[in-house]
Structures are given as C-alpha cells and as structure tokens.
Amino acid sequence: MSTFAVPSELESEIDELISHYPEKRSASLMLLHAVQEHFGWVSKDAIEWIAAKLELKPINIFELVTFYPMFRQEPAGKYQFKVCRTLSCALGGSDKLFKHLCGKFSLDAHKHGLQTTKDGRFSVEFVECLASCGTAPVMMCNEGFYEGVTNAKADEIVTKCSA
Amino acid sequence: MPQEYRLILKHADQPGYTPDIDCYLKHGGYGALKKVLALKPRDLGEGKTQSPQEFIREEVKLSGLRGRGGAGFSAGLKWSFVDRKGGKPIYLICNADESEPGTFKDRQIIHKDPHQLVEGMILSCWANDVKLAYIYIRGEMPEGAKLLNKALKEARERKFLGKDILGSGYDLEIHVHRGAGAYICGEETGLIESLEGKRAYPRIKPPYFPAVLGLYMCPTIVNNVETLCHVTHIVNMGGAEYAKLGTPNNTGTRIVSLSGDVKKPGYFEVEVGKATIGELINDPAFGGGLRDGRKLQAIIPGGSSSKVLKAGEKFKLKKKNKDGEMAIVETDLLDLPYDFDSLMGAGTMSGSGAIIVIDDSRDIVDCLANLAEFYAHESCGQCTPCREGSLWMNKALHRMTHGEGRKADADYLLHIAQNIQGRTICAFGEACAWPVLSFVKKFKPEFEARGAADEAKRKGAGTSQKFAAHPDQQT
C-alpha cells in the first residue's frame, strides 16, 4: 500500500485547478506544479495519484515529468539556486557566479544538472534564459528573483537563507 | 535624435505606479472596455450592418499591428483566419512564455502593469467571441503568475471579467496556466499541446493551423503579451490614428530589449522604425554605447534565433530616395532602421525585439557555443534533423571551446545546420540552424583558426587526434 497522501487543503486547490479546463488532462502541468510545491519533488506515487485524479494512465504524467525541466524526480535542497547560463548572462559573468556558488557549497562546477549539498540545504543548477537579460547575471533562489548578482550579492542572499 | 515613445510602458516605471486595479483605473484603465461595450452595430448601407465586434477587428487590421512575439505576422490577419462558422468554441491564448534569449519585455508588462494585459485580452476575446481564454506563462515566472492571478481576481470583482461583464451579457473567463521550463512552449502549436496536458511537441501545419484546429481542435488565437496590450491602445486611439505611429507597414511602438556589451542595457519602447540599430546601441537615451575602449564585433538583432550581423556589414535595402522613387540604397549595419522589414531586408529578423551586443573582447566561438548548448537543451526531440543536429552542433562547438577542435569543424557545422533548416515540423529547426549558419559564415576565419590552433597543439604534443574525422569531411 502506498503511503502517499494528499492533504485535503491541497486536494481542494487541485479540484479548483481542474475546474479551469474543459478537459481534465489540461490540468496536468498545474497539478504537477501544485504537488511539487507541496512535497518538494514528484515521486512515483505522486505521478500515479495525479494520473488517477485526471483519469489518465501514469505514463501520461510520467512523460511530462521527463520532458519539462522544472519537474524533479528527487528532492532538491531547501534553497534552490538557478543561475541563468544563456548568452547575455554568460557575457555578464554567470560562469563566475555559478563557480562561486558551487565553490561555496563544495559542489562540482563542471557537473551537469542539479546538485545538492549533503545536508540537503542547498541546490545549485545552471538553467537556460530566465528572461531578464538586461540585468545580467541573474538567478533565482526558490521563487525569489535576483538581478545583477555579483559574488558579494550572492553571498548576501545565501546568508539570508541560512539565517 | 530619436527618443523613447512610451505607449505600453507609459506608466510602468512611474514612481507610485502599482500593479493593482485601483491604480490602473485611476490612469484610465478599462476605459477601452467600457467604450467597446457601448458600441452599437453600424449601418453600412445597402441593408448591411457591421457588428461592434467586426468593427474592432477591422480597426485592428487598419492599425497594421504586427505580432510582437517573433514572426511579426499581421495580428488583424491572424484574427481574420479564425473559423467563426464551424460552430465550435473559439479560444484565445496569451503567449507569455517569454524565453527567447535576449528578450525581457513581457516580464516588464506582467510585473508592472498586469491589468493592461488583462484589458487587452478581454477586448481581444470580446472582438473574437471568445468565452474562455488562458495566459500561458513560463514556469520560471512564479511571481508573474501570482500577479496575473491577482489581477484577474480584481477584474472579476469589478465585473470586468466573468459572467455578464458590466451588464453587457458577455461572459468571459481567463485562467493562468504555468509552463515548466520548456522553450518550445513558445511555439504556438507546442504551446497548445502543452496546454492540453501533453509534451509540447509542435503540430504540423497544415492541417493544424490554430485558427482552425487549435486548442481541443477548436479555432484558437495565440497572441503575444505585448501584441495584446497594443489592442487596448488601438481601441483607445482608433486603428488609423495608431497606424500613424511608427513607419509604414511597421506601425506602432515596440519594446526593444537591449543586453550584452553596452553601457546601459535595458528595455526601450520606441516607434517602430524610428530609431536605427546604431542609435539604440550608442545613443545616450538608449544603450549609451559600448564600454570604453571596446569596439563592436557583432549584433544579434532579434533574439538568439535571428541571424547575427557582423560589425561593418553593408546591406542593399530598397528605400525611397529623395525624389520619392524606390531605389537600392547601401546601408551600414548601424544605420538599419530597427523595424520588421529593414531587418528582413538585411537577411535577418527583428524577431522578439531583442538586441544582444557582442564587443571585440569576446570570443565569437564561445558565443556560438553558448547558444548551441541552449538549442541542444531545448530541442523537443520530435523531428530527427533537429533532435540529432542540435546535439551534433553542440558537440562540435563544445570540443572547439575545449581544446579539441579541428579546422574542418567550421564546414562541418555549416553542413549540419543546412540539413536542419526546412526539414522540421516547426521553426525551431531554423531557430537552431540560423545562428550557426550566420556565425560560422560571417566569422569563418575565426572558427577555422580556432580549430587549426587546436590541431597544431595536438600535433605538437605528439598525440593522435582524439576525434576521427567525420565521414562527410573526408571528401
């Protein structure tokens, strides 16, 4: 038996989201967001739960998790840093910023994909264009958005998270 | 001296201007909506009448508004393709999946003046008999999604949205739908698939033109954020008056996103075609020029998918001369008017209105390698030429920037890119091929020198070549 349980508050939020669409399947991405925001990641059980809720096969949801880069099949750190890697930010020094953050958290700046510190507090990841090219380099920390991030500014943001 | 002309961003950066509905109303917000709801059918004579909706659609056509998302297609024409006789519901989707590298204009509207977008959407929906619409916003803009949801809630509370809008009998609902990090969702048919809860694999056209077979196989209009905002101003000003802004066939204003190697990167709203690329980059009112001591190397003029322009390039453009006759005029890159047609004439495009400036301190191979990585990451994988080709180009550029290049890589890259463009379902094929084709063709000596230097280094070190030549290159 799966121990996966969706709290009633989240489920009513989900029911509301489903009501926005003439066809239930359309709510897939919004449900994945809601579940990931609540649990921190999308587990196999969560995929099955969403599929059942939308009267779909689990594969219909799983193929979304593997296609859309924002969905995670494993937990990320409590504070997740997404550093923009694309051209304007690269010209603005995003490589330096990424290396600085990786160094700070003892992570490997040459590794691809999301990396998380052993204590599960911080994750760092290079992502593609975040659409704020005029204030490069930019990054996100969870839902927060930061522009013109120097190493010093990055340190401040990390300190604020750690406080 | 060209100046900014702020229509869309008129209030956005004013001190004290907030994204809530009261502030928008105080600045005349929802006036255009009240205006159209009061319109009566017009008698065209000979027993013909024109409905208020038809009238507004004609006004949009008259305005000459061209889509601000990338293709620059006439918005009025796009609306005119909608199948209104089939009896199926018509949907409208606002494309707020702003993710073309270099572009950051929609973010300003959504964050600073969300009600302007909501009003533009309501007007566009009303004019096209739409009852249900969506805003597809990219997943990485959670704050934007919240602001839009709040704006929609406020609009509902004031009866601008929902059932029986302002007592007119017109019902409309708009919902926010979040993407999840896939660039391909900006392609309108990919976006529709994504909104249906599927992988964002673009659909083949024909037959899947959104105007006929869009969301749930119903007629669907997909418009960019900025395009929809312009509709509000067209209603307020009238189409003919709006068309006086900008230049012929390139009407209105547009928000230019300027980034990269300039002193003052940022967004500037200008009348289309009234400022040249050079002015946008160098004028103190805009980019303020390159950093001291730096020279221009290249410009990406319309988002990363547009073909790069090399400093010093000259183009032969058809223009009216002093006597009002059409003549071929040689135009320097910096003197190109920043509009749809001039950039097309220069073999590139103004795309999403995003200029990325690259100065002489930058390694041009590195710049292209960065973009190739983007496209390799973002190819949806549906069509073989793009799925494989974008990765091959990325691999080749990766080795070139990691000391393992070859002189022949330049031609190899061109060969792959030529085999992608025109051979895919959607325009992503061109989007990933064009940067490679243009960078390598225009900077061929740089690319060949880079590869040759790596080869010489390997020879000197006495090691065999790590990469065997590709069969295509052995001829």
The string of pLDDT tens digits covering residues B141-156 is 999 999 999 999 999 9
Written as six digits, the tokens of A8 are: 């009633």
Closest to B344 measured CA to CA, from B315, B321, B382, B313: B315
Of B180, B194, B200, which is closest to A70 when you measure between CB atoms? Answer: B180
Is B142 within 8 Å of A143 when comparing Cβ atoms? yes
pLDDT value for A163: 73
Q: How confident is the model at residue B470 (pLDDT cuts 50, 70, 90)?
A: low
What average pLDDT score do residues B4-15 get?
A: 95
What DSSP character marks residue B310? E
Q: How confident is the model at residue B344 (pLDDT cuts 50, 70, 90)?
A: very high
pLDDT value for B469: 53
Q: How confident is the model at residue A161 (pLDDT cuts 50, 70, 90)?
A: confident
* Chain A residues touching B370 at Cβ < 8 A: 85-87, 90
What average pLDDT score do residues B237-264 get?
A: 96
pLDDT value for A2: 59
Residue numbers of A between 34 and 53 with CB closer than 8 Å to B: none
A32 CA to centre of own chain: 11
* Residue A22: closest C-alpha in chain B: B216
User: Per-residue pLDDT for B20 more than 50?
Assistant: yes
User: Per-residue pLDDT for A143 more than 70?
Assistant: yes
Secondary-structure class of domain A8-67 per CATH: mainly alpha
* Residue A131: closest C-alpha in chain B: B104
Q: What percent of chain A has pLDDT over 70?
A: 99
User: Per-residue pLDDT for B447 more than 90?
Assistant: yes
Domain boundaries defined on chain A? 8-67, 79-162
What average pLDDT score do residues B422-444 get?
A: 97
The DSSP-derived string for B370-438 is HHHHHHHHH--S-SHHHHHHHHHHHHHHHHHTTT---TTHHHHHHHHHHHHTTSSSSTHHHHHHHHHHH
User: Per-residue pLDDT for B173 more than 60?
Assistant: yes
User: Per-residue pLDDT for B322 more than 90?
Assistant: no
| Separation CA A91–CA B366 (nearest Å) | 10
What average pLDDT score do residues A101-110 get?
A: 95
Q: How confident is the model at residue B255 (pLDDT cuts 50, 70, 90)?
A: very high
Of B199, B260, B362, which is closest to A64 when you measure between CB atoms? Answer: B199
pLDDT value for B475: 40
pLDDT value for B473: 54
pLDDT value for B474: 46
Closest to B20 measured CA to CA, from B92, B107, B118: B118
Task: Report the gap between the CA of A98 and the closest CA in chain B (Å).
Answer: 15
Q: What confidence tens digit (pLDDT) does each residue in B155-170 have?
A: 999 999 999 999 999 9
User: Per-residue pLDDT for B81 more than 90?
Assistant: yes
Q: What percent of chain B has pLDDT over 90?
A: 92
Q: How confident is the model at residue B183 (pLDDT cuts 50, 70, 90)?
A: very high
What ipTM did this prediction achieve?
0.96
Closest to B430 measured CA to CA, from B289, B305, B342: B305
Of B100, B178, B371, which is closest to A30 when you measure between CB atoms? Answer: B178
Structural fold of domain A79-162: Glutaredoxin (3.40.30)
3-state secondary structure of B179: coil
Neighbours of B324 (CB within 10 A): 6
Query: How many H helices and E strands in chain A?
Result: 7, 5
Read off the pTM: 0.95
User: Per-residue pLDDT for B235 more than 60?
Assistant: yes
Q: What confidence tens digit (pLDDT) does each residue in B264-302 have?
A: 999 999 999 999 999 999 999 999 999 999 999 999 999
What DSSP character marks residue A48? H
